[in-house]
Every structure is written in structure tokens, then in C-alpha cells.
Structure 1
């Protein structure tokens, strides 16, 4: 079974916190100039480590959304920049979703191709085994107007001598003639049944319908 492709990319927790705080600023829950919780309070509110809270604050500070001064907490600076950050993050999430769906589709197609290849392999092996168990299983070929020996008898065209195949039946007008003998002629719309020594159909096809 093919190894499953990992398509889900988790967003770091500090980025999630930065987005959530920016969303609250963009929605007017916090106003510009307002002082909100300190880093330790932010870590406690979101149940994360102080380092995770610090990284979230750094993102917002770098974008000019807030300022953070030691001992002075976090101060809101720009609702507009918070809104812009939320919009950019939404576009990024859309791209990530498209990428994830694309990778999932590629994974499914890969698995389907592997399943198809396994089925074809099983079919070939089963066919070879079946023919080995039934050495006299006949081949068949349809006689069309393109046949170069149309209306010629098996003897006239030296069918056995030139192909190594023996005609064992001819189906004509919904009637099957078994062991038709060497003097049966190849008529249009006939179906010829034959057995070969090497179990190959190619030689007979090339004989009746030579490549140009």
C-alpha cells in the first residue's frame, strides 16, 4: 500500500494567537491607544508558554499593530493594520487550502494508479496461468475486407505452413463449422478459430493483414 502523503500543515500556535488578537482589534473590541494584558496574562489566557506569547506579540509588533514595552504591557496602535493582517492571513489560508486539496488529489490518483497496476498484473498472471492450464484454448480473428487472402482457401494460402497455426473452426452466418478442413475459404465477416504452437496471435495477424 502506498505511503499516504501528509498534506495537512498545522499553523503554529503563536501565529494563531496573533491572528486572534488582531481579529479582536480589527473588530473594535480593542481600540487604538488601549492598553491590554501583559505577556504573562496573554500566556495564561491562551494556556501557552511565555515564549509562545512573546512570539505572538512580536508578530503584531513587527506589523505595527501593537507596541510592547517592558513593564508597560501591550498597547494597541493600528486597527487598520490589524484589518490588513487579517485579510492577508485569509488569502494565505485560501492558498494553503488549495494546496492541501491539490496534494490530496495527487495522492488519490497515485493510489488509484497503483491499484490499477496491481489489477492489470493480476489479470496478466491469471491469463498466463489459465492458458498454461488450457493449452488448446483457441485464438480468434475476424476476417474483414482488408484481409489480403479474402476468398482464398486455407490450402491455397498455406495457412499452417506460413503461420504455424491450425484452423479448428469457422463461424459464418451464426453457424460454427468445426474442423472445417483445408479447403474452407476465408469469407468476409467470418470468425476464424485457431490454435498455435507458441500461443501468439501476432504471426497470424501479420499474415492476414500485413503491415504497410
Structure 2
């Protein structure tokens, strides 16, 4: 079973790519759906859907009577990255369907592929545990000026502290005798419930 990328998405990706490459500048105008439809050899409706997709992602702004204005290079890059991630999942899905025709010979490979797909989907649905959480220390913290060792921080939260931002500098892997200071930003990693555990431990 093959799943093709819709033409309007292909057009949106092409326009976003040109923005990232600098071929379209912020503030440039693309003169309406008719112009886009003509340039890409598609219907006005297909062009409308492509522009609408980019508009929804804040890459362009569709101005009634004034055409389409290029709005954000940063959002164009975000859109391309998101599209690439979706494409990766789509490719995995297509591979799985192909393997179903020969399941007896490639059963093990298919299991690995399914696991890979599930892992990628989970990354869309939840925060990657290796990307640190962060928490800001304000005057409401009940453990100000106490050391992580005295607090038995890991025992109480199961969070591993990887860094502390203080006075504009980053302290990597702070030692157990490091104390919690007002206006610190603590970076830590842990499992799915760690974020709530840390917040409760420090503030409630």
C-alpha cells in the first residue's frame, strides 16, 4: 500500500524550502493563488490548500486583495522539520505494509520496524526524557539555600540534575554540596512523572 504525499503539501514544502534558502525574503509577496497555481501547474484549489497550510503554520500571511506575504523564515524551518518527521513515520508505515507480503521471512525485521515507529510516535506525544526539564527557583521554594545532598534530592524526586543556570552562567553536573539559590534555573532529567515530583518537592 503506497501513500503519496499530496500535491498541495509538496508545494508548501517547496515554498518553505525557498524561504529557508533565502530565495524568498521576509516581506516578499507571492501574488495570489492564481500565480502559485500557474507556477506549479496545479488547480487554484490545490494552490489555495498549499497556501492555507503555510498560513496555518505562520510561515506566510494571506492578505485579502494583496496576495500572500512571506512572514517567517524560522517558522518555515520548523514546518520543514515537522514535515520531515512525518515523512519518516510515513516511510516506516510504507515499509511495514511491504513486509506484510513476506511476513514469514522478515518477521523479525518487521517487529524491529514497528518498535521504531512506536518510539518515534512517542517522541511526538511526550517530552524526550533525555531533553532536560527545567524549573525556576523563586521565593516560594521551600528549600532555598539547602544543598542537594542534605535534601537527598535524587532519593526524593528520582531526578538527575545535569546543570544549574545562575547569574548568567551554566554550572554543569553540580556537586552534591551545591545549594539551591534564589533565581536558579535547575535542569534535570527523569521519567514521565519526574516533572510533577520535582515541582511538588520544591514548592508544595
Q: What TM-score do you get using the length of structure 2 for normalisation?
A: 0.49
Quick check: which has more Rg, 1 or 2? Answer: 1
Structure in which a larger fraction of residues adopt helix: 2
